[in-house]
Amino acid sequence: MSLLSRKRRLVATLRADRALHDPQWIDAFAEVPRHLFLRRYFVQTGYRWLAVEQGDAGWIDRIYADTVLVTQLDDDPDSWVRARREGPVIGTPTSSSSMPGIMAIMLEELRVTDADRVLEIGTGTGYNAALLCHRLGDSNVSTVDIDSTLIAKARAALAECGYHPYCLLDDGELGCPENAPYDRILGTCAVSRIPPEWLEQTRAGGLVVTTLNRPIGAGLVRITAGHGATGTGRVLARDGRFMPMRAHRLPPIPELPEDEMTEPGQPTSLSVTGLLTPPSRFEFFAGLELPEVCSLHGDGPGITWLAHPDGSWARQIDTSEGFLVWQGGPQRLWDRVEDAHARWLELGQPERSDFGITINRDLQEFWLESPESDLRWPW
Residues catalogued as catalytic:
98
> How far apart are alpha carbons 198 and 41 in whole angstroms?
30
Helices (H), ranges, the chain: 3-16, 23-31, 59-63, 79-86, 100-109, 127-136, 148-160, 196-200, 272-275, 283-289, 333-346
Name the amino acid, one letter, at 348. G
- DSSP 3-state of 101: helix
Peptide bond connecting 181 to the previous residue in cis, omega within 30 degrees of 0: yes
Q: Which of 310, 274, 304 is nearest to 290 (CA)?
A: 310
Q: Which of 222, 256, 258 is nearest to 239 (CA)?
A: 222
Cα 193 from chain centre: 13
Contact call for residues 134 and 34 (beta carbons, < 8 A): no
Query: How many beta carbons lie within 10 A of that of residue 194, not counting itself?
Result: 22
> How far apart are alpha carbons 315 and 23 in whole angstroms?
48
